[in-house]
Amino acid sequence: MTTTIEKQDIRKINAPALKDWLTQHGEQGFRAKQVSEWLWKKSATSFEDMSNLSLKTRQLLDEHFAINAIQTAKSQHSNDGTIKSAFRLHDGHLIEGVLIPADDRMTACVSSQVGCSLTCKFCATGYMDRKRNLDAAEMYDQVVAIDRQAKETFQTPLTNIVYMGMGEPLLNYANVLESVERITSPDGLGMSPKRITVSTAGIAKMIKKLGDDEVKFNLALSLHAANDQKRNQIMPINESNSLKNLAEALQYFYRKTKNRITFEYIVFHNFNDTLQDARELWEFTKKVPAKVNIIEYNPIAEANFKNTEADRLEQFAKFLESKDVVVNVRRSRGKDIDAACGQLANREKES
């Protein structure tokens, strides 16, 4: 009986290690730079594509390594132009990514985990189990695939990336930061970190670590309630990461990076949509330079929350604006294909 040994994904090897491996196998060291360029700049999905390498070198690489590129299993097109894609990973798991077109930008919403462990009550992904973290290359591949969709469908490249898909990015810290590094590197996609936003449900110690690492990308906090009692009800993570602890972490992050924070706030009907709630949110925004994105709620089958009425949402936003808070009201995109915020849940079966 023969056993098949799974080949290592070559994209998990750093450049010096790849150079050492190639020279040990009789290849010239400069080949490592050529291979890296194919993998990251040109997003090659097979060694056969690497046309400036000899057939012998390509066969050597193929014998020892794999390129575990994600595959697009299915794409759905919304009436508003949004495109949701189910991506199949090399081990059969499915994740989802979304292309959100707008007049002034083209945004990719990418996932960082298969499922999620945080159980936020209003989010479809929160009702799934967390299967595993994505590696940096799998997040990178989502950006490449969605950028290709943008160019093919709208003749426009991506302008922005948000880590707001499935999973909690700060519970996959090292891989998320490595993916950002690859995306922003001149040897990768060369995007500006200012065009990238990482969204967290609020893990205080990891927000501080972002500050220590002096990251250049933007940070968004999914807040949704500015008092602990209400936030505990909808986001169990708040029980171990209170608003006081989060405020301290955000202040630390701002001191280290000088990056203004974005607070994301879904206004639920008869839950967090009163002027008192707006006042509590305003008080919280005073703790650190911030802007507020008010997000329309997108219903899911697993929960009974409803979006607030238009007039209450308008009163809520106007109160904040009267206190000189920068407010954006975000209308849902892709709701008809379950591609809107909080709706990503892999309705298809994994293999």
Helices (H), the chain: 15-24, 31-36, 55-64, 136-154, 173-184, 204-212, 228-234, 243-257, 275-285, 310-322
The Cα–Cα gap between 251 and 73 comes to: 42
Is 96 a residue of the active site? yes
Question: In angstroms, what is the C-alpha Rg of the chain?
Answer: 22
The b-or-e profile of 204-224 (16+ CB within 10 A means b, else e) is: bebbbbbbeeebebbbbbbbb
Q: Is 152 labeled as catalytic in the residue annotation?
A: no
User: Is residue 183 within 8 Å of 140, Cβ to Cβ?
Assistant: yes
> Do 89 and 70 touch, CB atoms closer than 8 A?
yes
| Local structure of residue 218 (DSSP, 8 states) | E
Angle, vertex CA 184, rays to CA 181 and CA 189, nearest 5: 115
Catalytic residue among 27, 96, 138, 264: 96
Q: Which of 37, 123, 341, 348 is catalytic?
A: 341
Q: Write the burial class of residue 227 (CB in 10 Å: 0-12 exposed, 13-18 middle, 19+ buried).
A: middle
Catalytic positions, written as ranges = 96, 341
